Structure 1
Amino acid sequence: MPPPGPLLLLLQLCAAAAPRCPRACICTSDLLSCAQRGLQQVPAALPPTATALDLSHNALVQLHRRWLAALPRLQALRLSHNLIAALPPQAFHNATALTHLDLSSNCLRAVEPHYFEGLLRLEELLLYNNGLLRVDERAFVGLRSLRKVYLSWNNLTRFPFRAVQGLTHPHLSTLDLSTNHLSSIPVEEVAALPASIRNGLYLHNNPVRCDCSLYQMFWQWQERQLSSVQDFLEEHTCVASDTRARSLVRFLQYKKIFENCSQSRAPPGTPETHATALVGDPLLINCNVSTPATPAYLWVSPRHEPIMPPGNSNRTVEVYRNGSLKISAAEPWHAGVYVCMALGKHHQLHKTHEVNVTIRYPTLDGESFSTGLTTLLGCVVSLVLVLMYLYLTPCHCFQGGKRAAAPSPPQECSAQSSILSTPPATDGPSRKISSSRHVAFLEPTSGTIGLAAKNPKLLQIKSDSDSVSSVFSDTPVRP
C-alpha cells in the first residue's frame, strides 16, 4: 500500500485535533445543548464554534477556572437549575462576547466582586431564586453594557443602590429586587437613580415598613406611569405592624389613608389577641390601643383592604367610635388577621394592634342532638295519628240516637263500612253493570249505591230486639 500523501495526512491531523461533540450533548452548527443529562462536571472538550451553550437542569456543583477559554464566540450561557454554590476567580475568562448569563435557581449565597470580571459585553444577568443574602457593592463594576439584572426570589435584606448610581451603568433599564426580605428602602439613594433605572426598578412583594417617604416616592412613580409600579400595583404592600409580616397594606390602592401619615412603630412585645366565633354568630373585636387622643381608627382586613368608619357598604362589618370592629354574622371568609391602626389628626399612625380571628362551624353537641331527636319523634307521632284517623275512624250509623229502619238500605259512613253485596234478583233491565276483574259497580236507580262481586254475597239487615248487626250469608234470607 503506497504511503498517504501530504494533503491526506494534514486532513487527518486536523480532524484529530478538532474537538468532537460530547456524547452527552447535542451539537448543531453553533448551538450546544447539554441540558437535563445529569452531568456533575462540565464536558472536557467543547466545540469552539458554539455561540450558545445550555448546561441547565444538571447536577453541576462547581465551575473550573478558564473553562470557557476554548469558546471565544460564546454569546449565551445557561447554567440554571444546578447546584453551584460559588464561582472561582476567572470563571468566565475569555468570554468576551458573552451577552446573556443565566445562573438562576442555583445555590449562590452571595455575589462577590470577582464573579463577573471580564464580561464587558454582558447585557442580561439572571440570578433569581438562589437564596442570595448579600450583593457586594463592587459586584457589577465594569459591566457597562449591562441592561437587565434579575435578583428576585432571594433573601436579600438590603441592596447597594449606590453601586448603580451615576453613569456607571448607562444602559441599565431593569433591576428586579421583588420578592426578597427588604424591610426598608433607602428613599434618598433610590431617588438619586437615573430615570431609566427607576422605570424598571421592581420592589414589590417586600416586607417594607409603612413610611410616609416610601409612600410618597411610589405615589410619584405611579403618577408618572412608571411600569415598575403600574404593572404590579396590588403587589406593592407595606407592613403596618412590626410583629409579623402578615399585616400588609396595599398602600397604592388606598391613597387617602396614607397621604399625610408618618411612621410610628408599635411597642415591641405587644401580644396578639385571638378571637373565635361560630358561623352565623355576631363577633365584636376590640382595638386594644391606648392613646390619649385618637380621633380615628382604621382596620385592615385579612385581604389587605382597609375598613374605615362606619364600615363597609352593606353594614355587615362596622367600626365603632371607640375602635371596636363588629361583624354582624361571621362567615368562613372573615377568618384571618385583622390589624387595628390608631390615627391622629392628620392621619398620623400612632399604634397598631393585631387580632387573629378564627371562624368555626357549630358542632353536634348533646343539646342539639336531643332537640333533633325530639323533633323527629314528634313528626312520627303526628304521622301515626293521621293514619289512625284515616283508617280507624268508627262508623256512625245512627241518626239522632235512633236505630235505622229495617227496610231502608244501609248508610255508608266511611271507607271501612263499604260491603260487597249482590244486586237483588228483582232488578230490572234498566240497571247497567260495569264489570271488572273483581268488582262490578252498579249505577244507582233510586239514589242508592249497590255493589256486587263475582261470588254473590247478599247483605241483609236483621232486626233484633237488642241490636242491629250486619251479617254475611251464602244463601238468600227468606222473609
Structure 2
Amino acid sequence: MMSPFLCLWIATFFAVSQGCPEPCTCVEKKYGRQLAECAYRGLQAVPAGLPSNVTTLTLSANKITSLQQSSFLDVTQVQSLWLAHNEICAIEEGTFARLLHLKNIDLSHNQLVDFPWGDLYNLSALQLLKMNSNQLVKLPWEAFHTLKDLRSLWINDNKFTTIAQGTFDAMSSLSQLQIYNNPLNCTCRLLWLKTWAENTLISIPKRDSISCAAPESLRGIPLGKIPKLQCTPPSVQLTYHPNLDNTVVYDGLMLMLHCSVTGSPQPEIRWKIQTSSQGTEINGPNVERDGNDLSAGGSKQNAESFLLFKNGTLVIPNFSKQEEGTYTCLATNEVGTREVSVNMALANSENTVEDLFRNNLATSKLGAKHCNKEAQANSSKAGEKLVIIYRVPAGMGSSDGGTLLESHLWAYMLCLVIFLYC
C-alpha cells in the first residue's frame, strides 16, 4: 500500500509539472503565482504551452535569435521577463505590447540593433528596464514618456551617438540611470545632457565613462569635462539679384535669391516654394557649382525649374507667372531654425514701377514704413517681403523706349533694395 506521503509527493509533482513544456521547470508560488524556469536549456525560441498564470519567466542564457508577436501570448500575466545573454537580433513590433503587468524586463547582452519602442507605451507598470550591452543605435526622445514608475534604466554599452533633450523627463520615479560606454557625438545637440547630469538627483554610475567618441578633438573626454562649445542659432539674410547684363529686362527673367546664413555649427540650408499651383521643397543642392560664377545661358538651358547651388543660392532660370509665389529659405543647425521669406509677383508691363509699388504697398506683408530689425532678430521667422518684378515684353528696349525703361529700372532697383534690406 502506497504511503500517504508518497501519494502527496506524486500529486504535487503532477500538479507542478502539468502544462509546463519541456525542458522548462514550473514551480507554484504563493498567491497563485508561478515561476517558469527555462534558463540554460539551449532553447532557440520561446517554448509554446507555458501556463497562463506564469508571473516570472526566465529565458536567460539560451540561443534565442528573434521574438515575435506570438512569443508571449500564453503568458500575458507575466511580471518579470528575463531574456539576457541570448542571441536576439530582431523583435517584431507588438511583441511586448500586451504584457500590461510587466514590471521587470532584462534584454541585456543580446544583439539588438533596433527595438519596437512603441511597445513600451502600454507598459506603464514597468520598474526595471535593462537593454545594456546591445547594438542599439537610435533612441526616440518619446520612448519612455509613459514609464512614470520606472526606477532603473540601463542603456549603457550600446551605439547611441546622441540622446535628445527631454528623453528622461517623464520618468518621475527614476533613481538609477546607466548610460556609459556609448559613442557620443559631443556637439551642441548634446550639451543639455551635460547640464542635466550635473544637476539631477538621479544616480548615474561611471560618469567618466560617459565620454565623447566625436568630434575628433573631444575623443575620449568625459562629457562632464568637455570645454564650453560655441553654439549659436542661425542668422539668415536674403538677397536678390536680377540678371542685368543688358540693362533691359525681358520676359523670361532669370532670378537669383541668395540665402546667406551664419551660426555655429554651420547651418544647413533648404528652400520651400509655394506657388498658386503647387508646393515644392528643395532639401539639398541640385547643381554642383556654388552659384558665384553663374552664367545666364547655362542656367536657362537647364531643365530644372529651380536650381539650388551649394552656397545657398536659388536660381529661377525663367521667371514667369507660373513661378509667382512665396520663397522661403530655412537655415537649421543643432541650436535651432530660422527662416526668411519673400513674395515674388510678376506685374504687367502697362504699369510703371512707381504705380506698382504704390498700389501694392498697402497689401504688402511688410506693412510698415520702417523696419524693426530687433523684432526680427528675436523671432525664428522673419517677416515676409514683397518683390514686384517689372516684366518687359521681348522686342521693347531701344531709343526712347530704352531710356524710359532704364529710368523705371533704376527706380525698381531702389525700391527693391528698400524692401529686401528692411
Shorter-chain TM-score bucket reads 0.3 to 0.5
Structure showing the higher strand proportion among its residues: 2
Structure showing the higher helix proportion among its residues: 2
Which is greater in Rg?
1
**If the length of structure 1 is used for normalisation, what is the TM-score?**
0.41
**If the length of structure 2 is used for normalisation, what is the TM-score?**
0.46
